[in-house]
Amino acid sequence: MDPLSRGRSWMENCMACNLTNGKLDLPGGRIYETAHWVVEHTVGPLGVGTLIVKPFRHCVHFWELANEEVVELGPLLHLVENAIQTILKPDQIYICQWSHGDWKPGHLHFVVQPSWNHLQKRHKLPGPFLQVDQFKADKKPPRREIEAFSKKVKAVIRSLENRS
């Protein structure tokens, strides 16, 4: 069976699916979507400006993606990273593939996270180590800041799309 024939299929007990389909509260709402992918602000402690790019359909492994999904992914990650750079001007932007939660397979998603060199004053190592530190601290950003950033990034993405 063609993997796309399932369309926007949801897994009932999947947090990622339930954020996308509106069963769970999503601060900032949906930021952007393509035919196969959705962009949302993270609901975790990774900081304001950290976005999630995930397929609409419940998918656990990158190798399970259909060609149509793969073709959209590169340009979408480029657009999202460009928007984050335009707004926040970080020193680096990480793109990390995740699909586990508590050692259980979960919804495939890409975390697109801005980072600044000044964070080394509080965190010993960058990249995934920074993310581990942030999860340990479990300090979620204020909802109003997420919503303000989400509104801004929606406008920037529209602007960037219009230029291409």
Identify the residue with better confidence: 124 or 136: 136
pLDDT at 131 over 60: yes
Q: Name the phi and psi angles at 151, rounded to 5.
A: -65, -45
pLDDT, averaged across the chain: 90
CA dist 2 and 124 (Å) reads 46
pTM of the model: 0.90
Average pLDDT rounded to a whole number, residues 9-20: 86
- pLDDT, tens digit, 9 for 90 and up, residues 28-69: 999 999 999 999 999 999 999 999 999 999 999 999 999 999
CA dist 21 and 148 (Å) reads 22
Q: 5: pLDDT confidence band, cut at 50, 70 and 90?
A: very low
